[in-house]
A and B are shown apart, each in its own frame.
Chain A
Amino acid sequence: MTSTVRTYLGRLLPQLIALAIIITAISIIFPGFLNLQIQNGRLYGSLIDILNRGAPVVLLAIGMTVVIATKGIDLSVGAVMAICGAVSASLITSGHSLVETLLVTLAVGILCGVWNGILVAVLDIQPIIATLVLMVAGRGIAQLITEGAILTFIDPGLIFIGSGSFLGLPMPVVIWLIFGILVALVVRQTALGMLVEAVGVNREASTLSGVFTPVLLIAAYVLSGLCAAIAGIIAAADIKGADANNAGLWLELDAILAVVVGGTSLLGGRFSIAASVLGAVIIQAINTGILLSGFPPEFNLIIKAAIIVFILVLQSPRFRTAFTYVSMPRAAGKPTEREAK
């Protein structure tokens, strides 16, 4: 048991170090950063903001991790967010119940995933091109649904998903925590995760050894579509309206970045959902930190890029070998260390 915990921590160590450094740095620049208080019956503070604002990217990163583990990529998630936000807003404003609205919206997300999955798994189109189709077309579909305007709604149930709270935590945080744990359990407590990794490492070899790859691939894109649907509902509920032009814009890139910061290779194979979630939280911590720092907005992207380069260097194999060699020379060569890698 302790060895599995240690393995797990070893895998997440670079991300945890990076997050700790960023949080320390922000709290030096801005002393009130770590303050937490109860306001309107929920925790209130910058740390909570990071978890709350990061919700869409965390959710997208969960689905993206599995897709990337199959050696794929899903560029359409931002557009699917826009579609699903538009669908939920138009359903709720046309008088459907909250349950109907949510179920139909999630189904639309799953449908988008099936579309991507069929293009990749059955028609054998390269994932970057296959998902580009929906990335480009999706925003148009969303605009058709909202008729080009921001579709606002006042349904308290739907708004609760964006800005309500449960057990003192904002709803979006509760949703991604539960969903993330659920997905991690399903892929890791069954053989699914291993099969996904096998497909990512060598699709042909997996097929030959009896893995039914098309279904597995489609399932990966369906998961990604579902994640995007949840993220889309949260984004729309947060501003009480569906903004087809801007909802989820460029978030597919942030999600891919979160997966990479989390240490999952774009070449497929081994993956860690927890690490990707940490990656997404790191990205949001950087964003929030920049906003609090009070730098002129022209610096935002430069600072973000510089910090991310630093994190990527931190986890590059060469740097890690050097780091391991210096810090714990005695541990080198032990079996746990090998597993941790």
Chain B
Amino acid sequence: MSFSWTRVRAIAVKELRDYRRNRFVIGTMTVLPLLFIILPLIQVFHTYAHVHSSNLNLHVGASMLYMLVIPAFMPSTLSAYSVVGEREQGTLEPVLITPIRREELLIAKALAAFVPTLGIAYLVFGIFLAAAAFFANPVIASAIFSGTHVLLQLLFTPLLAGWGIWVGIAVSARSTDVRSAQQLSVLGTLPLLAILALISLNVIAVSAGLAVGLAAVLLAIDLLAWRAVAAMFDRERLITGRSA
């Protein structure tokens, strides 16, 4: 039986419907973006007015970093629930009984976390850029739009989300309860976020070319992570907690 997008769609639609009616998910999807748009905007419109122009680039990087927290934490929290949460509710076994292949189930779970995350992260970033372009001090706006800040944000948002998703699903597949899965998966995204923090804060200076190169490396890591998670997504392990 070949890969079926119909089955992927069935699970992804189900997940999105479930998110829409889950207060915890709605809360995460609302509070986190609100928090991480308000802080950078306060910095742009208030704090940076007092910052010396030589340090402006550093502060703009810090603001951008806030917005990378959204693709780092939101999908890892969602995907950490995806396996262990279903196992706790008894809904995993009926799905595994159907013809769905593990690659299809994985892609469906990943898409369901990826699509809303990417939408929200880019929306928040768009609002930030629009606010900066139209209402911020031209010097500050120039600092935001010059250099690699925007490119880094655009490139690393989906890649960071991808990493968060695979870490979340991997942890979820091995966990016995939702809460510890969510805590562990957030921890799992921290190393990558730390590297991006060093880049955003100019500790590691990157050109546009280097940023694209780093994004390619991160894409390769995401693909490897997908293969690794697919390998551990064994029906017997998911049902019994042990491999055949």
Pairing of A with B? no
